[in-house]
Amino acid sequence: MDPIQEALLITFYTHKLHVEEMCDLSCPSEGIMGLCEDLISCLLEVECEEIIHVIQKTGITFDISHGDVPQFSSLDDCVYKVPILVKDCGIDELTYSQVGFMLRTKPRKEGADMKYGENQSKTAAQMGLCSIINARIYPSHLGVAFCNLDKEKQMRLLPKLVLFIPYIYNQFAISAKYEDIIASISFLSQSTQKRRLTNIWSLISQVNKVLPYELQIIRY
């Protein structure tokens, strides 16, 4: 990794690299799509292990609240379906219910559509793959650039975009142990903790599978 790549990764993962513009298609696109493409090229070239070392070297972590702890039903829907759906559906301002309806694999009530659409969209937004403003979902420059990649490159990017989620970033930044994970969500109710832990470990496993054992977060 060269110094320019390291600087790019630091500013991206610490949410200082024009993240608002990259994750909001309503921002002027001049230069932003090129920046997204440069970032994606860097992420594809640099190993996840190197990214972890960069993250840990910064010493930076994020404050986490209830809404920052990921919640989803299908990671595939979050990553591979929401961004392209939002980009290509032809609706300028998607609601959670509309996203949930379009992600249906079987009939369900509108309230279930809304909750499903909300959870999958919010997780996609945490990875920068779409934008949410006032409970409306929009494409993002980063999401559009991601959609333009072939599936093999998208899959290679997945663990690196998971690391962009502030909650997941924090755990690898501090080399979290099992007890640290539990403590980090202690402000949630017991029932909510149980549900969110399933999602947390699902995301952590995406990163773990491309890391050497000594950098993995182990579930006891």
Paired sense of beta strands 131-133 and 136-138, if any: antiparallel
pLDDT surpasses 70 at 26: no
Tell me the mean pLDDT in the region 166-179: 96
pTM as predicted: 0.93
What pLDDT was estimated at residue 101? 94
Within-domain flag for 191:
yes
Within-domain flag for 15:
yes
- Distance (Å, rounded) from C-alpha 62 to C-alpha 170? 7
Residue 19 near residue 131, CB atoms below 8 Å: no
82-116 residue pLDDT tens: 999 999 998 889 999 999 999 998 888 889 999 99
What pLDDT was estimated at residue 108? 83
Within-domain flag for 219:
no
Within-domain flag for 218:
no
| Amino acid symbol at 38 | D
pLDDT surpasses 60 at 176: yes
Within-domain flag for 122:
yes
Within-domain flag for 154:
yes
Local confidence band at 213 (pLDDT 50, 70, 90 cut-offs): very high
Local confidence band at 53 (pLDDT 50, 70, 90 cut-offs): very high
What is the domain range of residue 53? 3-213
- Distance (Å, rounded) from C-alpha 54 to C-alpha 56? 5
Into how many domains does the chain fold?
1
Within-domain flag for 131:
yes
Tell me the mean pLDDT in the region 16-25: 60
Within-domain flag for 64:
yes
Residue 49 near residue 212, CB atoms below 8 Å: yes
What pLDDT was estimated at residue 29? 53
